[in-house]
Amino acid sequence: MSEQISDSHHEILDAAAKCFMKLGVNAASVDDIAHSLGSTKGRIYHHFASRGALLGAVRLQAPEFTRRAVAPVMDDNLSPSQNFHNMALTHIAAVFETLPYHKVVLQHYTGLEGKSATESDRAMEARIRDAKRGYEDLFRSVIHAGMQSGEFRCQNLSVTLHSVLILLNAPVFWYSPRPDEPQGFTAQVARQLADMGLAALI
Amino acid sequence: MSEQISDSHHEILDAAAKCFMKLGVNAASVDDIAHSLGSTKGRIYHHFASRGALLGAVRLQAPEFTRRAVAPVMDDNLSPSQNFHNMALTHIAAVFETLPYHKVVLQHYTGLEGKSATESDRAMEARIRDAKRGYEDLFRSVIHAGMQSGEFRCQNLSVTLHSVLILLNAPVFWYSPRPDEPQGFTAQVARQLADMGLAALI
DNA sequence: ACAGGTACATACCGCGTGGTATGTTAGAAA
DNA sequence: TTTCTAACATACCACGCGGTATGTACCTGT
C-alpha cells in the first residue's frame, strides 16, 4: 500500500494543486500547470493518464494529509470533549499546511457529480469518496461517543458532523497567507475555531 | 432602483442557476442553459450581454434573497441572542427556498479572483461583493452587539462572523431535496443549525 | 396596410483546450 | 560502444464553446 511515486510526481501534484486553486478547477488547463513548472504538457501526460486523473490525485491527497495528522492524536481514554478539541486543533493545523489541496477539494463539494464518463473515472471518484468518508468517521465516532455520554447535545448525528466539519474547514474559504500576517495568526484561528466547534456541540 | 425585468428574464435566471448548480459554474455552457429552457442561445444573448453577465446576475440574486428575508425580522429591542437566533432561522429558511442560487455562489468562494478582464466585469464583481458584504454586516452588527453586552465571547470579530455564516450555510454543501425526505426536515435542520450557531457564539 | 421594434432562432467563426503521435536526450545495462 | 528505456519536448488535430451577424415571426401604434 506504500505509495511508490517519484519526486517529479509530487512536484507535479503540488503545482497542479496550486494552479487548480488559483485559476479554478475547471479553468486551469494542463498547459497552465505545465507552464508553472517550466515544462510542457509532455511531462504531465507522461506521469498521469489524463487531466482527470491528475485532478483526482490532488483531491485524494487532501483527506490523506489530515488523516495522517489527526489519527495519531486520537485517544479513547480522554473525554469526548477533550478528544474532539485535540482532533480539531490538529485538523485545522494540517489544513493550513496543505491549503491548496483543500481549496481544490472545496470546489467539488457542490455536488456536480453524475457525469462520470469512463470506468477509471468512477473508480477514482469512489476512492476519493471512501477516503473522505473514512476520515469523517473519525469525527463521527467521537461525536457519537459524546452524545451517548451526555456531554454533547443529542441531535441528528450526520447533520451535526457535517456542520461541525464545515465550521472547522471555514478558513479554507476565506484564508490566504499574507505577508503582513500577525505572528501566530493561524494558530490563534485554529484555537478559536476548535473552541467554537466544541461549543456548538454542547 | 426597482428592478424592472421581464418574466423571460427571471425564467432565464432560474434556469441558469439550476444549470450552473448541476453542471458546475465553469462546465455549464450557454447552450446547456438554453437547451434546458427549450430554446437556443439567441434568447439568452438577447437578454444578457455575455455569459459572465448572466452568471453575475445569478450570483447577485443570492444575497438579495436572504437580505429581503432577514432584514425585516431584525429587532434591536431583542437581546443579541434572540435577535441572532431569529435571523439565523430566517436566513436558513431563505437559503433552502432559493438553493440553486446559493450553490452557485458557493463555487465562487474559493478565491479564484484576479482575472477580471473587462471593465463591466469588474463593476459587476464589485456590486456582488458589496451586496454580499452589506448582507454580512447585518450579522456582524448583531454579533458585535452581543460581544459588547457580554452575551457572546469576545474573539476576533471577522473570524467569528465568517465561521458562523459558513456554519449556517452548511446545508448548501450537502443538502439536495429528495422525494423520500421526512416531513419538515428542512425546518428541523434550520432549528438545529441556528442552535449550533448560537451555541458557538456563547 | 404599413413601419418599426421586440423577441427570439439559425448559421457561422475563431480560439482555446484535451489529447495524441512523434521526436529527442540522458542514463543504465549489456 | 551499443542498446534500450524512462522522461520528457514539440507539433499537431478535433472538438466544444463564447460570441456575432443575420434572418424571421409577432405585436403595436398610426
Chain B residues inside the 8 Å CB shell of A22: 112, 114
Tell me what percent of the residues of chain A surpass a pLDDT of 90.
67
**Domain extent for B192:** 51-201
- Whether A192 is covered by a domain: the verdict is yes
CB proximity B115–strand C (7 Å threshold): no
- Please tell me what DSSP assigns to residue B181: P
- Whether A30 is covered by a domain: the verdict is no
Tell me the pLDDT of chain A averaged across its residues: 91
Q: Which nucleotides of D are covered by protein (CB under 7 A)?
A: 7-11, 16-23
A191: burial class by Cβ within 10 Å (0-12, 13-18, 19+)? middle
In the structure grid, which three cell numbers stand for residue A166, read together?
Answer: 464545515
B134 touches chain A (CB under 8 A): no
Q: Helices B185-201 and B157-168 sit at what angle, rounded to 10 degrees?
A: 170
B143: distance to nearest CA of chain A, Å? Answer: 14
Cα A118 from chain centroid? 25
Inter-CA distances, A154 with A79, A133, A143, A198, B199, Å: 16, 22, 10, 14, 14
Q: Give the residue ranges of DSSP H helices in chain B.
A: 7-23, 30-36, 41-47, 51-70, 80-97, 99-106, 119-149, 157-168, 171-174, 185-201
B158: burial class by Cβ within 10 Å (0-12, 13-18, 19+)? exposed
For the stretch A46-93, pLDDT in tens is 999 899 889 999 999 999 999 999 999 999 999 999 999 999 999 999
Query: Nearest 5°: phi and psi at A38?
Result: 70, 25
Chain B residues inside the 8 Å CB shell of A201: 196, 199
Average pLDDT of span A13-41:
88
Q: How long is the CA B33 to C1' D24 vector, in angstroms?
A: 23
- Whether A37 is covered by a domain: the verdict is no
CATH number of the domain that residue B87 is part of: 1.10.357.10
B180: distance to nearest CA of chain A, Å? Answer: 17
Residue among A71, A63, A68, A53 nearest A129 (CA): A63
- Whether A20 is covered by a domain: the verdict is no
Average pLDDT of span A31-60:
89
Q: Which nucleotides of C are covered by protein (CB under 7 A)?
A: 7-11, 16-23
Is the confidence at residue B1, as pLDDT, over 50?
A: no
- Reduced to 3 states, what is the DSSP secondary structure of residue A156? coil
CB proximity A34–strand D (7 Å threshold): yes
Per-residue model confidence (pLDDT) at position A3: 47
- Whether A67 is covered by a domain: the verdict is yes
For the stretch A126-155, pLDDT in tens is 999 999 999 999 999 999 999 999 999 999
Per-residue model confidence (pLDDT) at position A155: 96
For the stretch B123-146, pLDDT in tens is 899 999 999 999 999 999 999 999
Is the confidence at residue B183, as pLDDT, over 80?
A: yes
Contact call for A107 and B111, based on CB within 8 A: no
- Whether A169 is covered by a domain: the verdict is yes
- Whether A183 is covered by a domain: the verdict is yes
Per-residue model confidence (pLDDT) at position B2: 35
Total structural domains in chain A?
Answer: 1
- Whether A47 is covered by a domain: the verdict is no
